[in-house]
Structure 1
Amino acid sequence: MKSIFVTGTAGAGKSLLTSKLYEYYTKNSAFAAVLNLDPGVQNLPYTCDIDVRDYVNVIDIMQQYDLGPNGAVVMANDLIASKIDEIQEQINKVNPDYLIVDTPGQIELFAYRSSGRFVVENISSEEKTSIFLFDGALVTTPVNFVSIALLATSIKLRLGLPTINVITKTDLIGTKLRNIIDWSSNIKLLENAIAAETDGETYSLTTNILRGLNLGGFAQGLIPVSNVTGNGLVNLEGALSRILNLGEEVED
């Protein structure tokens, strides 16, 4: 079994991309399954094969511990770690070729609390990788792009997984997509764009962050994907296969 963790900021399209990946693998005769790790989500665009809401109920936690919604979601995410053996047993029963893991909407709850890293480490799998979603609607300015790139790098460090960077909502941002793709592969172009839109202090801070990210190996480009049309899924699957299957791609 190969595991794919779908991460990114709230609203970036994690659940939609999870559903599209599931459909892509299934259409191409690969056995895929979906694990939902968000205990607070109400509606999902796919049918869960394994669902943490079967083990952890946010409403019950609110009532039992007299917590508000945010406190209950924090506790629920931590309680998931205590259910990892039961979750793994259910994964084993399904036994897919590809397990697509839809992570919680609030990325900080998953990536920055010890329970998230624990779950990643304790899901038994031959190979694991992470997809980080750059929300296309958020990264249309160079400073926002660097900010999200910093977050992506931080998440990669926290989870300790090889990571593929994807930009979503490509059908909504029009000609700005070309700029974003260029920024992801040409640091000089990005620095020039920052200089054109910021003052001295912001320029200095942003470019210093950017150079650190570049030294850390961030500048590897983005894969554009539309969750609406499915454009880019072939390229994403190819990148996943290079990590998970030593380059052997699922036939399209």
Structure 2
Amino acid sequence: MKTIFISGTAGSGKSLLTSKLYDYYTKNGAFVAVLNLDPGVESMPYTCDVDVRDYVDIVSIMHQYDLGPNGAMIMANDLIAAKIDDIQNEVNRINPDYLIVDTPGQIELFAYRSSGRFLVENISSDEKTNIFLFDGALITTPVNFVSIALLATSIRLRLNLPTINVVTKTDLIEDKLKEILQWSTNLNTLENAISKEADGDTYSLTTNILRGLNLGGFAQGLIPISNVTGEGLVNLEGALSRILNLGEEVED
């Protein structure tokens, strides 16, 4: 079994991409299952095979412990970690070729609490990778782009997984997409764009972060994806294959 985690900021399209990847792999002959790790989600665009909501109930937690929504989400994620054996048993019974893991909308609850890292490490799998979603609507300015790039790098450090960076909602940012992709592959272009938008402390801070990301090998480019049309999924699957299957592509 190969495991693919889907992470990103709230509203970046994690669940939609989960659905698109599920359909893509299934149409190409792979046996795929989806694990939902978000205890607070109300509806999903896919059929969930393993669902943490079967183990924790946000409303019950709020009432039992007199917590607000945020406090209940924190407790729920910690309780989920305690159910890892049950979750793993469910996954083992299904025994898919690929397990796609849709992570919680509040990325800080998953990536920065010990329970999230624990789940990543203790889901048994032959290979694992993470897809980080750059929300296209959030990265249309160079300073915002660097901010999300810093977050993506931080998440990669926290999860300790090989990571593929994608930009979503490409159908909404067609006029900016070419420029954004240039930022992701040519750091000089990005730094020049920052100089036109920011000055003083903002320019200094942003460019220093950018250079640090360059030293960390960030400049690997983004894969553009449209969750509406499915455009870009072939390129994403190719990147996944290079990590998970040593380059053996899923046949079309």
Q: Distance in 1 between matches of 2:66 and 2:191?
A: 49
Partner of 2:147: 147
| Distance apart, 1:11 and its partner CA | 0.3
Return 5+ residue gaps in structure 2 as ranges: none
Partner of 2:17: 17
> In the alignment, residue 67 of structure 1 is paired with which amino acid?
L
The CA RMSD measured in Å over matched residues stands at: 0.4
Q: Distance in 2 between matches of 1:56 and 1:87?
A: 12
> In the alignment, residue 37 of structure 1 is paired with which amino acid?
L
> In the alignment, residue 187 of structure 1 is paired with which amino acid?
L
Partner of 1:198: 198
Partner of 1:32: 32
Partner of 2:127: 127
Residue deviations 1:114-173 (CA, integer Å, cap 9, x gap): 000000000000000000000000000000000000000000000000000000000001
Partner of 2:53: 53
| Distance apart, 1:69 and its partner CA | 0.8
Residue deviations 1:20-56 (CA, integer Å, cap 9, x gap): 0000000001001100000000000001000000001
| Distance apart, 1:201 and its partner CA | 1.5
Q: Residues 155-234 of structure 1: matches in 2 within 5 Å?
A: 155-234=155-234
Residue deviations 1:221-243 (CA, integer Å, cap 9, x gap): 00000000000000000000000
Return 5+ residue gaps in structure 1 as ranges: none
> In the alignment, residue 157 of structure 2 is paired with which amino acid?
L
| Distance apart, 1:174 and its partner CA | 1.5
Q: Distance in 1 between matches of 2:201 and 2:58?
A: 43
Q: Distance in 1 between matches of 2:21 and 2:198?
A: 38
| Distance apart, 1:175 and its partner CA | 1.6
Q: Distance in 1 between matches of 2:162 and 2:249?
A: 17
- Identity %, equivalent residues: 81
Partner of 1:248: 248
Q: Distance in 2 between matches of 1:241 and 1:57?
A: 36
Q: Give the SS at the match of 1:25.
A: helix
Q: How many pairs does the alignment contain?
A: 252
Q: Give the SS at the match of 1:145.
A: helix
| Distance apart, 1:220 and its partner CA | 0.2
Q: Distance in 2 between matches of 1:86 and 1:18?
A: 22
Provide TM-score, normalisation by structure 2: 1.00
| Distance apart, 1:92 and its partner CA | 0.1
Q: Distance in 2 between matches of 1:48 and 1:229?
A: 22
| Distance apart, 1:200 and its partner CA | 2.1
> In the alignment, residue 6 of structure 1 is paired with which amino acid?
I
> In the alignment, residue 130 of structure 1 is paired with which amino acid?
N
Q: Distance in 2 between matches of 1:18 and 1:54?
A: 19
> In the alignment, residue 201 of structure 2 is paired with which amino acid?
E
Query: 4+ runs of 1 displaced by more than 6 Å?
Result: none
